[in-house]
């Protein structure tokens, strides 16, 4: 059987592969996957940045917007960080993405590179599961003017700089005052991001099908200040009341040196990231493997 996906885009992990043997390995993997896709009847294109950094000029290359408009599948080869970046950019085009894990954890790049051919072949023929993941839309407002805007698939993090002292953050949810928090920072995480930074500060794991956000303080001054799960429909406002060198991070996108009075507005994006998983995939298998549950049992 031929692939039901005709026009497939390849995205690679080139940022961490800029030197020596790592670059050659990544280039070889991408070329191998491209040849496999061609044998399945797919027309393969490479993301322009991947092609230029990897030196793979034997394949057509397209810019991100062109991929979103012209392709019907994206194949991301790398780790979760690579998928976060591609997912944010492709969400507006509703381009379905499959992740082949060439990184360490692989919560959202769930196909092992060693067995990608046997897993990918039935998926290309239509045997897969579809899953949509929510995104956060964050805007930074200063003196009633928007100075920064970003999407986040994992989390929005407001935290103090490297100096001593806490940040003081006034938090509102849907226009209602919640608390003024004194802490090292505050995390607003999606269910996808609940296995990332939010988990390390004591936040709960959230199943991706749950429509909600985790709001978790980082090293709060008051120990009763605990993580809370909020409805996905909520709009959260974080205002900088006090603190030096406070910054904000939106996945891997940073805005340094927020000033007093800045307001970080966080709400649900109108876009979602669409993942395709192998048939039979379930979230608990991923957790059990990645969190090392049941080891020694």
Instruction: Give the model confidence (pLDDT) of 124-171 as tens digits.
Output: 999 999 999 999 999 999 999 999 999 999 999 999 876 667 899 999
Q: Kindly report, as residue ranges, where domains of CATH 2.60.200.30 are found in the chain.
A: 135-270
CATH code linked to domain 135-270: 2.60.200.30
Q: Give the model confidence (pLDDT) of 272-282 as tens digits.
A: 999 999 999 99
Q: Please check the confidence at residue 22 and state whether its pLDDT lies above 70.
A: no
**Confidence at residue 297, expressed as pLDDT on a 0 to 100 scale:** 56
Q: Which of 47, 80, 110, 262 is catalytic?
A: 80
Quote the pTM value: 0.92
Q: Please check the confidence at residue 17 and state whether its pLDDT lies above 50.
A: no
Q: Please check the confidence at residue 188 and state whether its pLDDT lies above 60.
A: yes
Query: Is residue 49 among the annotated active site residues?
Result: no
Name the more confident of 19 and 136.
136
CATH code linked to domain 7-126: 3.40.50.10330
Number of other CB atoms surrounding residue 111 within 10 Å = 24
Q: Kindly report, as residue ranges, where domains of CATH 3.40.50.10330 are found in the chain.
A: 7-126
Residue of 274, 276, 9, 273 whose CA lies nearest to 125? 276
């Amino acid at each position: 059987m031929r692939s039901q996906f005709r026009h497939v885009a390849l995205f690679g992990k080139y940022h961490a592969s800029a030197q020596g043997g790592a670059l050659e390995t990544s280039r070889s993997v991408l070329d191998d996957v491209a040849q496999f896709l061609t044998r399945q009847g797919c027309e393969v294109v490479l993301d322009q940045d991947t092609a230029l950094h990897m030196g793979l000029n034997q394949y057509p290359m397209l810019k991100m917007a062109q991929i979103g408009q012209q392709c019907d599948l994206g194949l991301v080869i790398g780790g979760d960080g690579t998928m976060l970046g591609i997912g944010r950019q492709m969400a507006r085009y509703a381009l379905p993405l499959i992740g082949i894990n060439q990184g360490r954890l692989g919560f959202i790049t769930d196909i092992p590179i060693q067995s990608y051919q046997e897993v990918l072949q039935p998926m290309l023929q239509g045997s897969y599961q579809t899953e949509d993941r929510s995104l956060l839309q964050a805007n930074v407002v200063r003196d009633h003017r928007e100075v920064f805007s970003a999407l986040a698939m994992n989390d929005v993090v407001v935290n103090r700089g490297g100096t001593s002292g806490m940040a003081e953050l006034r938090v509102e949810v849907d226009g209602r005052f919640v608390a003024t928090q004194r802490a090292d920072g505050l995390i607003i995480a999606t269910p996808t991001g609940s296995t990332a930074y939010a988990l390390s500060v004591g936040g709960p794991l959230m199943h991706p099908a749950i429509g909600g956000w985790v709001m978790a303080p980082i090293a709060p001054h008051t120990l009763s200040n605990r993580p809370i799960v909020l409805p996905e429909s909520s709009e959260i406002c974080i205002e900088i009341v006090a603190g030096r060198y406070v910054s904000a991070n939106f996945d891997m996108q940073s805005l340094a040196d927020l000033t007093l009075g800045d307001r970080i507005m966080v709400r649900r994006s109108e876009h979602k990231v669409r993942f395709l998983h192998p048939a039979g995939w379930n979230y608990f298998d991923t957790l059990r493997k990645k969190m090392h549950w049941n080891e020694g049992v």
